Amino acid sequence: MNDNTKSNSTANRRLMSEFKQLSTDTICDSTVLLEKEDDLNHWLVLMQGPKDTPYEGGVFKLKFNFPDNYPFKAPDVKFMTTVYHPNIKRDTGDICQDVFASSWAPTQKVSDILTKIVSMLKEPQTSTPLETDICNEYVTNRNQFNKNAKEYTTKYAFV
């Protein structure tokens, strides 16, 4: 067995374990699905917007793409739902790397990523925004930010 096969086997075992756990123990009001029934490397997550935020009442779709060397490398995670947030690109769904990828360790799990995303939705990181105009609004006019974020949630997040 070569190193790549070992790595892939380790990743598959880990992904199967995490998938089973998240399928039975709901984390962050999320539902975890496989994008294709026979492919553990591509997940879809349906996440409820956190309570007491402008995202409450919305259901946000995220896509997780796991590398062959997971958990040694972080998965690529994107919002498929358009979100009005300083740390999420509106046009691509990219999430600021400071949220989880830049501090990734193999001991972290998908549940940790989901928890960090919920924390980010509750309290944006204003020091490293992907959307500077939204960040400026969040910092200088929170009421307008909340109004705009709620409008996007109503329009895009399957409310």
| Bridge partners of residue 48, in order along the sequence | 59
Q: State the amino acid at position 105 in one-letter form.
A: A
Phi first, then psi: give them for residue 33, nearest 5 degrees. -130, 155
Spot the catalytic one: 40, 62, 96, 120. 96
Tell me the C-alpha to C-alpha distance, in Å, between residue 26 and each of 16, 23, 112.
16, 7, 13
- Give yes or no for a contact between 73 and 10, defined as CB atoms under 8 angstroms apart: no
CA distance 41 to 92: 20
Catalytic residue status for 96: yes
- Which two three-digit tokens encode residue 27? 């984390």
Active site residues: 96
